[in-house]
Every structure is written in C-alpha cells, then in structure tokens.
Amino acid sequence: MSAQTEEVAAGPAPRIGKGGAPPPRPRKRLADGVPYLLILPAAAVTVLLLGWTLVKNGLLSFQNLNPRQLIQHVTEWSGVDNYSEQLGSSEFWGVTARSVVFTAANVALIMVLGCLIGLLLARLGTKLRLMLSLSLVLAWAMPVVAATTVFQWLFDQRFGVVNYLLDTLGWHAMAGYSWTGGQFSTFFVITVLIVWQSVPFVAINLYAATTTIPKELYEAASLDGAGPWKRFTSVTYPFLKPFFLATTFLEVIWIFKAFTQVFAINEGGPDRLTETLPVYAFQEGVGSQHFGMGAAISILTIVILLALTAHYLRLVLKQEEDEL
C-alpha cells in the first residue's frame, strides 16, 4: 500500500491546541443564553410593574389633568408647561434644597450610629450580641406606619412620654410643648424616627462584614502599637470600604424618597415647611387635584435623584482611580 493510500485511510490528523493540549470545544449557543433566560422572568415583572407605571406617569406629566378633565374624560395635552412652571418656581427649588439637606443629615447620622453599633456588636460577648441583634431586628422589622404611630404618641403634646420625662427631669417648659408646631422640631421627630428605623440595617450588615476580616490583620496592627482608632482606619475601613460605599448609596436613595414618615407625622406641616419632594408631589397632585403637575414633580424628583446618584458614583470611581 502506498504512503498516500495509508494517509487517506488513517483520516485527517487530530488538531492539537496550544502547548499540546486539545483545542477548546466551541460553546453551545443554548448554554450562552441560559443566564438571560434565568433573569427574563424578573426583568419582565420589573418592566411590567415599574417600567409601565413610569411611562404612564411620564405621559401624565405632559397633561393638564384636573377634576374637570377626569369627569369629562378629556385629555388635554399641555406640553412642557408643568415642567416650566415648576422649574421657574422658587417653591420647588426651596423644597429641593430642603430635601437634599434632610437626606444628607439623615444619611450622616445613620452611617455614624450604624457603624458604631456594628463595631460594638463585633466586640460584645455571645449573649449580649444576641440580645442587641434581636432588638435591632425587631426595630427594623416594625412596619413604617406602626412605628410612625408610636412616635406620634411618644411626642404628643398633651400625653406624650417624651414631654412627661422632660417635665419630670425639671424641664417644666416642655410639659405641653408641641413638637409638630415648628419646622425644626418636626424635622427632629422625623429624623429620630428615620434614623431609628435605618440604623439596624447598617449595624447588622457591618457586623456581618467584620466577620470576614482576617484576625491576623488586627493582631499585626496591635503588635505595631495601633490603638482602636488606628486599627479602624488602617484595617477595618480599608477592608470594608466597598460596604461603606454601597450602604451609603442605598441610604441616600431610601431617605431621599421617604414619604410615609414625613407625611404621617404632620403632612408636611406646619405651613408646608417640612415638605420634601415626594410629599410636595403628593400635595400638588392629590391635595390640589392637579394630577399632571404632581406627575411632573415626581419625574423631576427622579431626575434629581439620578443626578445625585451619578455625582456620587463619579466621586467613588474617581477616588478608586486615584488609589490605583
């Protein structure tokens, strides 16, 4: 048999990959599409419940929708009049500035107190840690409306526990003090309520994150003579920096769009001085029955929140690039 005949009978030589290893098999197209199929149900539900609602709200913001239009089933398109009126209103920008300051103050308090309690959890014994964790979970799990009702009773002018305790301690001027009668006192009650509800999330998650830090790092820092503050800045904070950034980001979103606590305490009063953007949109839309205007304010609220979020993420990315 000739050499050519033997080569044909043997068939083509097997392909050999780089380094003598067999070549990689091509992936199946079906396997490549599996991740997309898995997230498809969640994405469909999100688009159905949130996307469509946002689209309808956006369309409503370009309409002049009052009780007359609702009764007559008439659609009156007003273009960008609702947006122009709000963007040219000093009241809108005053509420926006108030919302930003309110969010910054609450997030700062939540992060500081949450981190302190989380670090305390890491240093407590098993029994004390369990008791404190249980208390935090119970505070976190309490429904917002129920918690707001309790705080309304605590700070009640005539029968509130806070006024009674202050009067008992000798501060007799607080015996009949109205906590919802002024702007700053009302914001104080709302801030205490929101911080009390939000701190458990930060504290528990921070404690869980500290369990991932190798103990050898703390031992090495102690051998170098580092105190508690130095150990936090040189070991804990650098290791948990992604947690701090992500948690701060979430808290900014949650506090900025807080509605129930602000509205339930005093409905944005007194004299609408404690309205934040979500409450302002509700009052202008439902309270004044100018639903198109309320929809426009809600869209502007989303845009402002996206702008704040983009600015925050840009600062985070810039800081990470500088460290690299």
- Can you give the pLDDT of all 324 residues of the chain as single tens digits? 444 444 444 455 555 555 555 555 555 566 677 778 888 888 888 888 888 888 888 999 999 888 888 888 888 888 899 999 999 999 999 999 999 999 999 999 999 999 999 989 988 888 999 999 999 999 898 999 999 999 999 999 888 899 999 988 988 888 888 999 899 999 999 999 999 999 999 999 999 888 888 888 888 888 877 777 888 888 888 888 888 888 888 899 999 989 999 999 988 888 889 999 999 999 998 888 899 999 999 999 999 888 888 887 887 777 767 666
Residues with Cβ within 8 Å of 85's Cβ and at least 6 positions away in sequence, in order, are 293
Q: Which domains does the chain have, with CATH numbers?
A: 91-323 (1.10.3720.10)
Query: pTM of whole model > 0.85?
Result: no
Long-range Cβ contacts of 210-219 (<8 Å, 24+ apart):
210/118, 210/119, 210/122, 210/236, 210/240, 211/122, 212/239, 213/239, 213/240
pLDDT at 7: 47
